[in-house]
């Protein structure tokens, strides 16, 4: 009978997550759930997010209680058709055993490092079929900005995300900090991974990099998805960029991070701490100052890709968070012929705040 039973488990977001709090259920027992439905809120010490159903089915039993902490992969609920009896569900719950953790660490996703011409680059890889998708984060970000996207996208294509130079755990260059360096890092990583052609997905400054990579290397790029992207207009929130670069303490940084999200409650203590830890690494401060001077000085974007993007043929899509407070949503319509989607209820970090909608949009272009 158990093959008719589908478990709902505590998700695992990123390598460091070992447990999460089931903050709230969004569905009742007896509800018919469709894949993609929002079923519960889960919070970790790093982030809070809505969990969407991976599978559909009739919710028969809630096993997890609201407000309690559960380890990753713990059974939180049971879906089964009405033909399955309550006794069978009881047996299933009683017999449920959590998969071994060590097994997951051996075979599960991990961070990799590549020694490239630009220096050491950290990336992560999820295997899949077809033309790969490469995810490029924005200014001050890292590959974990794609925490809620990379696993879903790997259902459709091999998925990669990298830490750009000067970011995350990649090299902190002492001299250059410009668009050429970033594009070189992307192309060199593709060479290193023997990726002839990839779908590029870029967020914010990562969109600028994805677009420029496509313009200068059209044969290497199958499509571009530009999310709240730089390079499509002039304006950019100087208070954010300046504040992010200048902030030395939690007090200075936290208010600036609120620009990133429509739901400002998402700016958690550990998000602020993690960014401060990144900013304190030797070489990061001067790198960000140089990058800002080259790309985003005085509230103006220095580089515009509109003409260049119009000249290349690959499919282009633009995704924007309706409440983006960093780059104006009006830039979404800059490219004729691009598919444009404005996502409501999300800010600049739309790929985190409305991950399933963004994932579906990216999968369509893949």
Partner 1 sequence: MARTLSMKDAINEALDLEMERDKTVIMMGEDIVGGAGAGGEEDAWGGVLGVSKGLYAKHPKQMIDTPLSESAYVGAAIGAATCGLRPVAELMFIDFMGVCLDQIFNQAAKFRYMFGGKAETPVVIRAMCGGGFRAAAQHSQMLTPVFTHIPGLKVVCPSNAYDTKGLLTQAIRDNDPVIFLEHKNLYGSETDVPEESYAIPFGEANISREGKDVTIVTYGLMVPRSLEAAETLKKEGIDVEIVDLRTLSPIDMDTVIESVEETGRLVCVDEANPRCSIAADVSAQVAKDAFKSLKAPIGMVTAPHAPVPFTPSLEDIYIPSAEKIADAVRETMGA
Question: Measured from the CB of residue 1, what is the shortest distance to partner 1 in angstroms?
Answer: 39
Q: Which of 101, 126, 142, 260 is nearest to 193 (CA)?
A: 126
Of 248 and 330, the one with the shorter C-beta distance to partner 1 is 248
Of 13 and 296, the one with the shorter C-beta distance to partner 1 is 13
Question: Measured from the CB of residue 279, what is the shortest distance to partner 1 in angstroms?
Answer: 9
Of 285 and 304, the one with the shorter C-beta distance to partner 1 is 285
Of 172 and 331, the one with the shorter C-beta distance to partner 1 is 172
Q: Which of 9, 41, 37 is nearest to 25 (CA)?
A: 41
CB atoms < 10 A from the CB of 128, how many? Answer: 16
Of 14 and 128, the one with the shorter C-beta distance to partner 1 is 14
Question: Measured from the CB of residue 283, what is the shortest distance to partner 1 in angstroms?
Answer: 8
Please give the Cα distance from 133 to 143 (Å, whole number). 13
Please give the Cα distance from 101 to 342 (Å, whole number). 39
Q: Write the CB contacts of 244 (distance below 8 Å, at least 6 apart in sequence).
A: 139, 140, 253, 256, 257, 288
Please give the Cα distance from 363 to 366 (Å, whole number). 5
CB atoms < 10 A from the CB of 241, how many? Answer: 24
Question: Measured from the CB of residue 286, what is the shortest distance to partner 1 in angstroms?
Answer: 13
Question: Measured from the CB of residue 126, what is the shortest distance to partner 1 in angstroms?
Answer: 17
CB atoms < 10 A from the CB of 261, how many? Answer: 21
Written as six digits, the tokens of 127 are 């295997």
Residues in contact with partner 1 by the rule CB under 8 A: 15-16, 111, 122, 169, 172, 248-251, 269, 277, 280-282
Of 172 and 256, the one with the shorter C-beta distance to partner 1 is 172
Question: Measured from the CB of residue 281, what is the shortest distance to partner 1 in angstroms?
Answer: 5
């Amino acid at each position: 009978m158990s093959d008719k039973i589908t478990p709902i488990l505590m998700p695992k977001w990123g390598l460091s997550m070992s447990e999460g709090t089931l903050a709230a259920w969004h569905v009742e027992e007896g509800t018919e759930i469709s894949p993609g439905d929002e079923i519960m809120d889960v919070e970790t010490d790093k982030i809070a997010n809505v969990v969407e159903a991976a599978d559909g089915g009739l919710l028969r039993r809630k096993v997890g209680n609201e407000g309690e902490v559960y380890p990753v992969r713990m059974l939180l609920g049971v879906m089964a058709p009405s033909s399955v009896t309550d006794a069978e569900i009881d047996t299933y719950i009683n017999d449920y055993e959590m998969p071994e953790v060590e097994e997951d660490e051996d075979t599960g996703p991990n961070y990799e490092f590549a020694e490239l011409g630009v220096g050491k680059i950290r990336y992560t890889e999820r295997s899949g079929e077809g033309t790969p998708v490469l995810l490029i984060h924005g200014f001050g970000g890292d590959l974990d900005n794609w925490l809620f996207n990379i696993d879903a996208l790997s259902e459709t294509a091999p998925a990669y995300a990298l830490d750009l130079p000067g970011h995350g755990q990649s090299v902190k260059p002492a001299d250059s900090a410009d668009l050429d360096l970033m594009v070189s890092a992307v192309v060199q990583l593709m060479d290193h991974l023997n990726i002839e052609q990839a779908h590029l997905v870029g967020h914010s400054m990562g969109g600028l990099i994805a677009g420029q990579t496509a313009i200068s290397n059209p044969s290497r790029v199958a499509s571009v998805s530009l999310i709240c992207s730089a390079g499509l207009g002039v304006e950019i929130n100087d208070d954010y960029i300046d504040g992010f670069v200048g902030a030395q303490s939690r007090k200075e940084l936290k208010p600036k991070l609120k620009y990133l999200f429509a739901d400002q409650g998402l700016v958690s203590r550990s998000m602020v701490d993690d960014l401060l830890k990144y900013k304190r690494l030797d070489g990061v401060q001067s790198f960000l100052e140089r990058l800002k001077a080259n790309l985003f000085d005085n509230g103006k974007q220095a580089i515009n890709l509109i003409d260049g993007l119009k000249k290349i043929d690959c499919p282009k899509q633009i995704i924007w968070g309706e409440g983006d407070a960093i780059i104006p949503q009006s830039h979404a319509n800059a490219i004729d012929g691009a598919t444009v989607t404005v996502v409501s209820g999300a800010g600049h970090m739309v790929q985190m705040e409305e991950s399933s909608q963004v994932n579906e949009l990216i999968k369509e272009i893949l």
